Every structure is written in structure tokens, then in C-alpha cells.
Amino acid sequence: MAEEKKPLAAAFAAAGEGFLGTPYSRMDCQALCEAMLREAGLRVNLRGSNAWWRRMTWRGTPEACVRRFGRVPPGAFLFILAEDGGEVARGYHDGLGNASHMGVATGRGKGAVHASEKLGRVAESAFTGRSIPGGWNRVGLWDALDYGEDIDRLLTGGTDRKKEVNGLKSETAELAMVVCPDGETVRLRAAPDTKAAVLRRLPRGTQVEILGVGDRWHRVRWREDEGWMMSSFLTPLGLMTTEERVEALEKRVEALEAKEGRG
């Protein structure tokens, strides 16, 4: 049986032009995205932008998307996300934040399209591939869409998918190293809160998998443990020089050797 073709993300993004000017009373942000997907050949029915945010195969900031995939492609979902606990009132207790609004990156015109309650219609929105204070600050990519071979390989498979670090299999291969210039270990917590329970203390030089990113906290995995770590103590491997990686690993070895000596 032939593999079913995925809708082109570029066609999905272009579909937004046909809805420009539609009254908000007829089409809110979620309905717009659903209508655009139908035009591209995919039927989806989700409840609210928070459900869409959690449906994404990959989630992160626009800057993280560029680092990971080389660009924010047309057809990427855009979100306005707050890490204020507001998702709990909507039935979510996963710490992934409260997505209050969504749209689609088009790569044309102003860069995005959304259904604006303030304007009262479907309209273009400014987006240049960077986080906007008070505006688009998260990107979601979904493997139900075809973003092109280069992105799809990283998003859903390819050689990076099987990469192992510290005994764990990375699904996204987006890795970071623990850095702590003022201490030997960094706390991995059960929630994005300095008062939350400490799951582990990871020494500098430890490599972790990034599961979600925020302004102050990143959700990470190390071996079988998933938790939260302050973003200031994490540096994506792709942003580190070889010398910095070597130095961090040497510090980790020193810390482990010292620990064994005390044992």
C-alpha cells in the first residue's frame, strides 16, 4: 500500500490568504487553523489553543526553532504562551504553559495570519522569525504536515533520532549541557518553581535532552528522570565551542572522581 501523502506545509500556510477579512464572530483562531488545514487536505478537531500546543510534535521558541531546523518554515504554528499556571484552570497539569492564542507563519506579507479578536477579523500579523514581547513567542511543528525533507528528517526521524546520551534515547536530539559556574551541581526539579521537590542534582558537564523551553525554565530529561531546570544553567550543545564542551566534561570528571574518593 502506498504511503499516504502529508499535506504540504507551504500549501497550508498559503490557504490563510483565502480567509483574510473573515469576521471573528464566524472564525476564531482555532477555527481558522482548522479551516486552513481542511483546504490543505487534513481534517482536525481540537479544543482550544492549549490542546493544539500539546498536539505539536516539536515545541519551542522561534529562536530554538531556527537553531534546530535552520528556520521557522511556512506552515509552522505560532502561539502566545504564558508560564503563569493558567493552564491548570483549563485542565492541564503538565507544566507546558498556557497557550492563549495561535496563528500560522506564512513567510509572506507580514509573516503570519491569525483570527484577531481585537481587529474583529482574520488578518495578517507581524512575525519575522523572532520572539515578540507580548506576542508570538512559541513555535509548534507537527509531523502531520510536510515541511520539506530537511526539516522532516530532524522532526520525525533520520540519524539524529536514535542518538543516545547518558543512557537515554533522544527523540528530538535537541541536547544541552549543564553549566554552573558558581557551583558543582544544578537541581532538577519536579516543577518550574524554586520551591518544588528536587529530583536530582546534576553536575556541570551533564548532557540532557530538552523537552520544552521557557523564559526561565526548561523541561528536560536525563536518563529516566524528567523535570525542570532553570534555563540559565543550560547551554544548547550547538551553541558551545569544542573547547567549552571539553572544559565542561573535564569538570564533570573531576567532580565524579572527587565523589568516588570521598566514598
Same domain, 137 and 256: no
Measured in whole angstroms, how far is the alpha carbon of residue 219 from the centre of its chain? 10
Same domain, 127 and 14: yes
Same domain, 22 and 139: yes
Q: Is residue 3 part of a domain?
A: no
Cα–Cα nearest to 69, from 162, 143, 163, 126: 143
More confident residue, 166 or 49: 49
More confident residue, 241 or 96: 96
More confident residue, 1 or 210: 210
Domain count, the chain: 2
Same domain, 91 and 209: no
Q: Is residue 152 part of a domain?
A: yes
Among residues 131, 156, 181, the one where a domain terminates is 156
Same domain, 94 and 187: no
**Predicted local confidence at residue 95, as pLDDT:** 75
Predicted TM-score (pTM) of this structure:
0.63
Query: Which CATH number fits the domain that encloses residue 124?
Result: 3.90.1720
pLDDT tens digits, one per residue of 145-183: 999 988 988 886 543 433 333 333 334 447 788 887 666
pLDDT tens digits, one per residue of 92-140: 777 788 899 999 999 999 999 999 999 999 999 999 999 998 899 999 9
pLDDT tens digits, one per residue of 61-72: 998 888 888 999
Range of 228's domain?
A: 159-262
Joined together, the cell numbers standing for residue 75 give 506552515
Same domain, 178 and 240: yes
Same domain, 207 and 93: no
Among residues 113, 140, 156, the one where a domain terminates is 156
Residues in the chain, overall count: 263
Same domain, 175 and 46: no
Query: Which CATH number fits the domain that encloses residue 248?
Result: 2.30.30.40
